[in-house]
Amino acid sequence: MKPGAKRVLLFAGKTGYQVREFSSAAEELGVELVLATDRCHMLDDPWGDQAVAVDFAKPAEGIEALRALGPVDGVLAVGDGPAYVAAQAAAALGLRYHPPHAALAAKNKLLARHRFRAAGALAPAFRSTRLEANPNALARTTRYPCVLKALELAGSRGVIRADNPQQFIEAVERIQAIVKRAQTTPELLIEEFIPGREFALEGLLSNGALQPLAVFDKPDPLDGPFFEETIYVTPSRLPKVEQGAIRATVQRAATALGLRDGPVHAEVRVNAAGVWMLEAAARPIGGLCARALRFDVGSRSLGLEALLLRHAWGDDVSSAELAPGGHGVMMIPIPQEGIYQGVEGMEQARTVSGITDVVITAKEGQMIEPPPEGSSYLGFIFAHASTSGEAEAALREAFTRLKFLLSTALPVVR
């Protein structure tokens, strides 16, 4: 470690693309990034990432081992589970971050719903039950349309809309199989379906105060029966008044959860009734989506990861402004279940005006599943244009030039 260099702990389930983005940002800033991952401490660096082993289910021993590293200046995390462990580590090491109780509430859909409603935010009516409960009885006492969610799965995995009792029963059976495969808590959240357009807010909290970094439009309808996200573009084309309402709602939600210092990624729906709070996660946007964002901070241009690293050690980044123009990313949807064999049209997609990159993250031979079973994408398309509308158009055009080769696979045992 160079004299005077900052040291930041990054908690992640395993090494992946997002971790590598943080590593590149740390190198750009001259920061020492220490990776803490959820793996067996008896194995000697099995992934070749020089990470410190921390058992996320029982993190106390691993956190204690982190003390031996010496002084640490900040903490960050990739993913909801790692964010909770990072919060525990920050509390133990006396570092600025979200409190553990807040990170726990943010990653638990049921706790978050209770906090949002208690704070007076618009949020869907909900109830929870064990997945072993009789779906026929539940179906008879549910108002439709509704959305069923596996309580502790992230993103669109295990999320299904039902419009009638038969669809409800089928959704419960499907989610039971998903939860069994994921080996997670067999608990189900049932909530009313909220119509409207969906938006995301990327922000930073400093001493509980929200600094919005970007409001994303999600131009593709997310009405179910499954909820695979595709396009994000910013700046939002919503009127300023409605964007202000989104910011105020996210601030209320973050306060209700107790989030304090660090990133927040929030999801909302907007309709005639107002802004409905869906989630406020104690982490940054996932995958490679952050590549779509650049910020002007003083005389420097920084990506989101670099901005988060500076904020983590207490640097003042309150002057950060989204770089001019329209920024967009498409999370490439999975057309069908199958084994990924390759892609055609990459060069043609990259020649579309406004496209800055196309990255395929699927690996040859990998089993690919769309939601609600799957939780990943084929890859990402990035755009930067004069306006958000032009960025969106570029993403759509580039996508039409890609042809994914998926072989027919044997049905997955649910």
DSSP states of 365-397 as a string?
A: T-EE--TTT----SEEEEEEESSHHHHHHHHHH
Question: Of 23, 22, 79, nearest to 56 (Cα)?
Answer: 79
7-106 maps to CATH 3.40.50.20: yes
Averaged pLDDT for residues 289-307: 95
Work out the average pLDDT over 182-207: 94
CB of 361 closer than 8 Å to CB of 343: no
| CA-closest candidate to residue 247, choices 215, 287, 279 | 215
Taking CA atoms, 362 is separated from 156, 344, 409, in Å, by: 18, 13, 16
Q: For the chain, where do the domains classified as CATH 3.40.50.20 start and end?
A: 7-106
At 38 the pLDDT is 85
CA angle (268 as vertex; 178, 357 as ends), nearest 5 = 75
Intervals of CATH 3.30.1490.20 along the chain: 125-192
How large is the greatest C-alpha to C-alpha distance in the chain, in angstroms?
66
Which is nearest to 369 in space by CA: 336, 399, 342? Answer: 336
- In whole angstroms, how far apart are CA 196 and each of 34, 148, 254, 390? 42, 18, 22, 23
- How much is the pTM? 0.92
Q: pLDDT above 70 covers what percent of the chain?
A: 95
Q: Taking Cα atoms as reference points, which of 284, 265, 267, 260 lies closest to residue 123?
A: 267
How do residues 99-133 score in pLDDT, each as one tens digit?
A: 999 999 999 999 999 999 999 999 999 999 998 88
Architecture of the 125-192 domain = 2-Layer Sandwich (3.30)
pLDDT tens-place string over residues 122-180:
999 999 999 888 899 999 999 999 999 998 888 789 999 999 999 999 999 999 999 99
Q: What class does CATH assign to 325-414?
A: alpha beta
pLDDT digits (tens, 9 = 90+) for 351-369: 999 999 999 999 999 999 9
* 142 CB-side CA count, 13 A: 30
Q: Where in the chain is the domain with CATH 3.30.470.20?
A: 325-414
Per the CB < 8 A criterion, the answer to whether 293 and 303 are in contact is yes
- The per-residue pLDDT for 40 is 52
Q: Which of the four pLDDT bands, split at 50, 70 and 90, describes residue 183?
A: confident
Which residues make Cβ contacts (< 8 Å) with residue 248, sequence separation at least 6?
A: 275
